[in-house]
Each structure stands twice: as C-alpha cells, then as structure tokens.
Chains A and B, each alone.
Chain A
Amino acid sequence: MAMELNKLTIAEAAKKLSNGEISSVELTQACLMRIKEVDGKIKACLTVCEDEAIKQANQADERLKRGEKSDLLGIPYLAKDNILTKGTRTTASSKILENYIAPYDATVIAKLKKAGAVLLGKTNLDEFAHGASTENSAFGPTHNPWDLKRVPGGSSGGSGAAVAADMCLFAVGTDTGGSIRSPASFCGISGLKPTYGRCSRFGLIAMTSSTDVPGPLTKTVEDMAIVLETVAGIDERDTTTVDEKIDNYREIMKKDLKRIKVGLPKEYFGKGIDKGVNKAINQTMEKFKELGIKFLEVSLPHTKYGIPVYYIITPSELSSNLARFDGIKYGFSTANPLLISPLSGGEKKSAGGDDLMSIYIQSRGKGFGPEAKRRIMLGTYALSAGYYDAYYLQAQKVRTKIKQEMDEVLKQVDCLLTPTSPHVAFKIGEQSQDPLKMYLEDIFVTGASLAGLPAISIPCGFDKGLPVGLQLIGKRFDEAILFRLGYNYQIATEWHLAKPNI
C-alpha cells in the first residue's frame, strides 16, 4: 500500500494527512522509493535530498499532530534546479555551477517550507533554462515517461517527467517562453505559467528577467490552484511583483462554464499542426461546448513575430544575467580547477593564463554549454553598439504590439484556447542539431510570455500514444478563469488520470 501513496494528488493526500490516515513520512518514503524505482530510466532528478526530506516530513507530522491545517503540510515535491534551495546543490544543469551550494532559499521555496511542504530534491532542466526539450542539460537529457526515447519537453523537463511518473505529488518549475507548459504538454500533466508579477522571482537563477515566472506542475488543475495560493504574492525582494489580490481559486473554479466566451486565435490553428493534435483539440472544443462555452474566432496578426521577438529579447537579457558567472565569486573557475567534480570527467589544470581576462574567458568558455554560449553571443551582438536599435529596440517595439493585440482581444472574450504545441513529444536527438528548429517549438507559447499573461497547459487527449496539451491564456492576473475551465474539464474528462506504463 505504501507504494501507491505517491500516486495521490495534493487534494487527496491533504485529506488523508489531515485525518491521520497516512503520515507525511509514509508519503515521502513512497515518493523516494518511486524515485529509486524509475529514475534510473527517466533521469528527472539531479539531486535527491533523502535525509533532509525525511527530516522535513517528520517536522510536518509534528505540526499535523498539533492540529495545524494547511493544504501543503507534509506534501512532497521536487524543485527545478534553477531555483535556489538553501544548503542544497543548485546547478541550473550547468557545469559552471556543478558544485554550487545555494546560500539561501528562493522566496517560492521559503513559502513552501513555511507551509510545510517536503522538498525531495532538484530536477533536471535545459542548462540555465535555455531550451524546449531538456536536451541542453550538461548532465544528460531527461526521458519522457510515456516513451523513454522521447523528450519530456523543456526547459522544466525533469519536473514534468517526475510528476507524470508519480515521483512526487507536485513540482515547481519556471516558465520564460513555455518552459512549464511544454513539459506539461509532452508529459500529459497540468502546468501553470502565472501572470508575470504574480510570484516572486527572488532566488530564481535569472534568465530573461522580463518574462521569467516560477509556477507549479501538478497532476490536476485543483492541485495547481492549491500551490499557487501558497506561492503567489508580493515580495519586497522582487520589485516586479504586484500587490494583486489572490482570488479564492478553489471556490471560483467550481462555478459552471455557461456563457463563458473563449477566443480561438486563428493564427494558432493554421498549417503545421499534426493531425492527431488537431483531432484532440477539436474533441476538446466539443466537450467545452457541451459544458456551455461559446467559442469566437479572433485574430492575433503579430503571432508569427513572437519567436523572433523572443529570440532577441531572451538572449539579450540573459547575456546580461549570465555575466555574473565569471569564475570569481562562485562556480567553476580556472583559478581553481579542482572545483570540477569527478562526475563531469575531471580536467587537467588550465593551460591558459592566470590573469583576470583569462580567468573570465576560460571559466566561462569551459563552464557554459553550447546553447548557453550561443545565446550569450546572440544577446551580446544584439545589444552591442550599432546593433541595439536594429535588434533589441525593434524587438521591444514589436513586443508592445504583440502585447497590445492580446490585451485587446482579451477584452472581447474571457480567455483564449490554443494547442500548447503543434505536435507531441519528439525523439531525443531529432531536433537538437538545429537550434533554429528548436526555437520554433515555442511558437504557441511565446505570446503569453511576452505579454506577461497567465497560461495553463492541461492534457486533452493522445496522439500515437503520446499526450496532447491544451493551452488556455487569460487576462493579466486572471488565473481564476483558467482554473475554472480546467477544473470543469477535468471533472468531465479523464485525460489527466492516464498514467504512463513505467
């Protein structure tokens, strides 16, 4: 029986913990056993904190015994490894941080700790969150639990695969340009990118400061709402968080869907979407119509510019954010090559110079992976003298148009419905040779990121045995409507209950 506890949802487990039917230690042990059982094949976890997790679970059990009521008390979770967790290795899946121990907790982690959630460990990602498949990890790719030869999506691929394989009850990820929604779609689970400014970025290893958001990956929409209620809120350490009211999601989401208007942006339904994905989306629309939804065709003419805008703004901002990895304060440094762990094969002492410039260029040259270096170069170029106006400034102006367009359309409807991805999970290695092809994976997810809007991806069917994801995009700070549609959909359907055979 202990083995099955890891398959519970947060809502189910919270009830059982609260009435004393199970303990947090039992729940945590079930997850740890599951990780031991399947993670050799899936490779979702970079670090597992077994002792610390049991300690936290014991503390949670104490709090439960004292009668404390909290939905996340004693609930085991995993965190993406670009989120700082005090005292635990935090690598951003990069060699440059292979042995970095975080000196403090990110705000979202601190909030989860306060609520009594139990941190099981850290999950794999594309290095510094650069990617849509988790293949850019310096420590090897994560494998999709639905088909181990395929990618789990990215960049929060480890988190996505872990939730799908029941290694935890929920996971935390970050979404900059689809990085929660893509793995949610490919792994058949539910993922939320909150509104930009809803959750604190303090303690996240920064990638694109103007679009990064932390968010939950869960088995159900109800669980998603539970996690958001805990991690959302203004934070004085992140001055881009907004003092916005956190709705009573669990009450609102139970309302019916009659007369809700959902927009279908025609640019998201053109050529290039796999037949199987189209079929699943169409079936979903029929189901939503049964539940009372009215669909309206809308248009977002600047959709196609989302990717070029994103791939100027992202590299530009990250080229600045990654400048801090200089071999001086922390991380891999050729000033002290002994910091390279045997895990990455070790290396002889650097043949280069010992002056400041040499330490910078060699620490960064050796420590960063190819995609990180590519993006840093692209960003450096786009921001350099003579090119700033043509690239970065132009991209920011087109971003304004994309944002205005989405905000306008969302005045006519309650939310938008689109596929999350034009296809299901692709094979490992299939796209990784062509960086541009990989960038095009983000075609449906960049819009909401650039406009700072909330978006969820929920499972809505299968194509060739692989999960298909549905995306819903809401107005700024209107996560409530997304939960309402998602929750009602998951009552009326069973796609989210399907489990991979692993």
Chain B
Amino acid sequence: MIQKTTVDIKISIISIICIICILVFMKLTKQQIEHIAKLARLDLTKEELKKYGNQLSAILNYIDQLKEVEVTGVEPTAQVTGLENIFREDKVRDWSKEEIELALKNAPELEDRQLKVRRIID
C-alpha cells in the first residue's frame, strides 16, 4: 500500500515538473523578445517587452494546435487565385505633377525635392 502511494506521488511530481518544463519552454524568453523586436525594427519600452512577451507566448501556445494536423503531401497555399505569371508592358507610366507634389509633401525630410536618408555605410 505504502509503495503504491509512493509511486503515485512520484508520478504526480514528475507530471508537475513536466508541465512546468513545457510551460517554461513554450514561453518566449526576454532575449527572444528583444531579438524579435530588433528584427522588426521596433523600439519597445521595458513594460511593452514584458507585456507583449506574455501575450505572444499565450498566442503561440494556442497556435501550437496546428501541429496536430496531418499535412504530409499537402501543398502550401500562398494565394487562392491559381493565377500564374501575370505580366504587363514594361512601360513607365509617369505620375502627374499634382500627384508628385502630393507624394513629396508626405516626406519627413526633403532637400532639393529629394528624400533624405541617413548614412547606411559607416
């Protein structure tokens, strides 16, 4: 009897440890979140990093159910129209003066009607 109880307790403890491991493993680490934010070119505050980290982990957990689906031999769907290779004439279509002015007006920094960009190569 006592042996059986000990085995039950051992199984319970192992199960709990497994669940914790799975939960910890599924959660995105702070480093991962910071890495993703850098890839996405997003400057996040400390609070945002923590909040989004938790929310993203929850969402990814939910999305994991996709692994259940049997997809051997299934082609991915990138677009549903089935169209291929739609071409047009290689002709330049100029914008009207008005359209050009409107477009330039939206630029954050202009110099001589050219968009200013920061140095790319050091």
Contact = CB atoms under 8 A, between A and B. Distances in A.
A364 interface: yes
B76 A239 contact: no
B99 interface: yes
Contacts of A435: 55, 59
Given A339-B108, A381-B36, A381-B56, A312 B66 contact: yes
Interface string B29-61: 000110011111111100010001001101110
A357 B60 CA distance: 28
Given A356-B117, A374-B55, A240 B83 contact: yes
A87 to B, nearest CB: 7
Contacts, number: 177
B78 A210 contact: yes
A390 to B, nearest CB: 8
B65 interface: yes
B113 interface: no
B102 interface: yes
A435 B74 CA distance: 30
B106 interface: yes
Contacts of A381: 28, 32, 36, 56, 60
Given A242-B83, A374-B52, A396-B78, A330 B107 contact: yes
Contact of B56 (A364, A377, A403): A377
Size class of the A contact interface (CB-based, 8 Å): 35 or more
B33 to A, nearest CB: 8
A355 interface: yes
Contact of B76 (A319, A355, A397, A476): A397
Contacts of B48: 370, 373
A333 interface: yes
Contact of A333 (B43, B58, B108): B108
Interface in B86-110: 86, 88, 95, 99-100, 102-103, 105-109
Complex A-B, nearest 4 residue pairs according to Cβ-Cβ distance, in ascending order: A365-B43, A396-B76, A452-B80, A333-B108
21 contacts: A86-B102, A236-B88, A302-B69, A308-B62, A308-B64, A312-B66, A335-B109, A356-B118, A361-B42, A364-B41, A370-B48, A376-B40, A378-B60, A380-B36, A391-B63, A397-B69, A398-B66, A399-B76, A400-B75, A451-B80, A476-B80
Interface of A: 86-87, 100-104, 196-197, 210, 236, 239-240, 242, 302, 305, 308-309, 311-312, 319, 323, 326-331, 333, 335-336, 339, 352, 354-357, 359-362, 364-366, 368, 370, 373-374, 376-378, 380-381, 384, 390-391, 393-401, 403, 435-436, 439, 450-452, 476
Given A103-B95, A239-B88, 12 more contacts: A103-B99, A196-B81, A308-B65, A309-B66, A329-B107, A352-B43, A365-B42, A374-B55, A377-B42, A396-B77, A397-B77, A450-B77
Interface of B: 28, 32-33, 36-44, 48, 52, 55-56, 58-60, 62-67, 69, 71, 74-81, 83, 86, 88, 95, 99-100, 102-103, 105-109, 115-120
